[in-house]
Amino acid sequence: MIKNIESLLNIFNYFDGIIVTDKNGIINYYVNFRTDIYNLRLKQIIGKSILEIHPEIKEEDSTIMQVLKTGQPIYDRIEHLTTPHGDCMTNICSTLPILENGNIVGAIDLSRGIDTDVQRKFIEMPKVCNQSNSLYHVNDIVSASKKVNDLKSIISMVANTDSAVMICGETGTGKEMFAQSVHTSGARASKPFISQNCAAIPNTLLEGILFGTTKGSFTGAEDKAGLFEMANGGTLFLDEINSMDLGMQAKILKVIEEKRVRRIGSDNTVDLDLKIISATNKNPLLCVKDNILREDLFYRLSTVLMDIPPLRERIVDIPLLVNFFIEQNNNRMNKNVSGVTQEVMEVFLNYQWPGNVRELKNVIEGAFNVIGSSEIKKDDLPPYLLNNYSHQNERLISYGEDMSLPERLEEYEKRLLIQALDSTNNLTRAAEKLKITKQALNYKILKYGLRK
């Protein structure tokens, strides 16, 4: 197993999921960082074999079953799976045997979803970019939403300062796109931009990756700069910073406050001049309350706080994004799709989009793979989305105990309010669009807990 450690450490920087099985292929441990596209719960995974969970896979095609049979590790194998929603998902898998006294007692499987939006690389290939034309710019953020366009205005204001920026938003809202846009909008645009998902690396490895190592400081350690050093002069983006343990957060805080870093095992420090951008996929104040984010680190990193609204709160963006993704896929796949049917747009506008913009992008791309006409139709959409829409529709029109008439009316009213607020520049115009007074609009905003 020792000879596989170096390769294992490399993988930890970019995996999306990990499975540990016993010698019979029964899953004993499971972690998944891509719940937006693969959301089985632990009780649906633990105690079952990979062949039970994915019956479409044959034993000879499963890297786990092959490694258990041969005892030989398999690296970077392409594997095609079907998600619980019926979508096709392609992973790059690396599977290693677990040995005890020379006997195979299990296997560990690490996988990465092939997704161009998730820019993850091996540790040996630093996540550093010196070319601003390979990163997102503020004009790449497509939106007609007032909330999002307000954030775009903030980007231009904070880009040239050294102040820390914290971005919060649900999975798939585009936090890295906003982080890159802050970098490319400022004077540091020609300097390195380094991005690290803190949830993708065990805390035992994270310290060395962030701060760097000195040869001899521990077995196998080499003289190697950490991400703070590599980002010096530019921008360091720490995504899902709330996933760090509190001890590591304290060390991060010390480095940021002192503006210098010391490699593990070294007596020398390196002065730092960089912009820190962090992100959380949960409300940071709730993270502080739940004691998973240090209060002092939160205040240090949230000098500027950018809250990206989920797609369900920016309904006005859905038609715009649909057309954008259609044009993008037309160019990439050499097709000529003109749009979506009115029926499909109705589904899109009424769906809650738990995976946000990323989910919408994937749904459009998936439709391009099966489309048989010039427009995307309901038959081209994934079954899970249609089933969800049907359930919501039944709930809204039901006269049973599930939803009362006042509840149905409130739900409809809330959606109209969201759409009006998201498509106008101020409360006065939103009230005019709804043909109600500004005072009545304020009351309804408070009633439904909507953000202005």
Indicate which CATH number applies to the domain containing 340.
1.10.8.60
**Domain termination residue (choose one: 286, 307, 328):** 307
Angle between the N-to-C axes of helices 383-397 and 342-350, in degrees from 0 to 180, rounded to the nearest 10: 70
Q: Which two tokens stand for residue 135?
A: 């990163």
User: Do residue 152 and residue 297 come from a single domain?
Assistant: yes
User: Do residue 286 and residue 412 come from a single domain?
Assistant: no
**Domain termination residue (choose one: 307, 342, 373):** 307
Strand-strand pairing, 128-129 and 193-197 = antiparallel
Write down the pTM of the prediction: 0.62
User: Do residue 197 and residue 250 come from a single domain?
Assistant: yes
User: What residues contact residue 305 under an 8 Å CB cut-off, 6+ apart?
Assistant: 165, 166, 168, 284
Let me know if residue 119 belongs to a domain: no
Least confident of 285-299, 337-351, 431-445: 431-445
Give the CATH number of the domain where residue 150 resides: 3.40.50.300
User: Do residue 137 and residue 285 come from a single domain?
Assistant: yes
Task: Please say if the pLDDT value at position 151 is more than 90.
Answer: yes
Give how far the C-alpha of residue 333 lies from the chain's centroid of Cα atoms, to the nearest Å: 25
Let me know if residue 48 belongs to a domain: yes
Sign of the Cα pseudo-torsion (324, 168, 236, 292, in order):
negative
User: Do residue 303 and residue 315 come from a single domain?
Assistant: no
Strand-strand pairing, 165-168 and 128-129 = unpaired
With cut-offs at 50, 70 and 90, classify the pLDDT of residue 10: very low
CA atoms within 13 A on the CB side of 390: 7
User: What residues contact residue 346 under an 8 Å CB cut-off, 6+ apart?
Assistant: none
User: Do residue 343 and residue 258 come from a single domain?
Assistant: no
Query: How many CB atoms neighbour CB 128 within 10 A?
Result: 16
Let me know if residue 85 belongs to a domain: yes
Give the CATH number of the domain where residue 108 resides: 3.30.450.20
pLDDT of 252:
94
Let me know if residue 362 belongs to a domain: yes
Mean pLDDT computed over every residue of the chain:
82
Q: Which residue has the higher pLDDT, 14 or 124?
A: 14
pLDDT of 154:
95
User: Do residue 209 and residue 151 come from a single domain?
Assistant: yes
How far apart, in Å, are the Cα atoms of 44 and each of 48, 87, 99, 160?
8, 18, 27, 48
User: Do residue 200 and residue 279 come from a single domain?
Assistant: yes
Q: Per residue in 392-426, pLDDT tens? A: 555 444 434 455 667 667 777 777 787 777 666 67
Least confident of 198-202, 342-346, 393-397: 393-397
Q: Which residue has the higher pLDDT, 255 or 46?
A: 255
Least confident of 105-109, 161-165, 232-236, 398-402: 398-402
Q: Which two tokens stand for residue 382?
A: 């994934």
Let me know if residue 121 belongs to a domain: no
pLDDT of 146:
85
User: Do residue 51 and residue 35 come from a single domain?
Assistant: yes
pLDDT of 123:
34
Q: Per residue in 216-237, pLDDT tens? A: 665 556 788 899 999 999 999 9
Let me know if residue 118 belongs to a domain: no
User: Do residue 174 and residue 55 come from a single domain?
Assistant: no
Q: Which residue has the higher pLDDT, 248 or 388?
A: 248
User: Do residue 85 and residue 224 come from a single domain?
Assistant: no
**Domain termination residue (choose one: 78, 113, 148):** 113
Let me know if residue 60 belongs to a domain: yes
Can you give the residue range of the structural domain that contains 103? 2-113
Q: Which residue has the tokens 């950490």?
A: 226
Task: Please say if the pLDDT value at position 302 is more than 70.
Answer: yes
Angle between the N-to-C axes of helices 383-397 and 405-422, in degrees from 0 to 180, rounded to the nearest 10: 120
Tally the domains of the chain: 3
pLDDT of 32:
72
User: Do residue 202 and residue 299 come from a single domain?
Assistant: yes
Q: Which residue has the higher pLDDT, 435 or 32?
A: 435
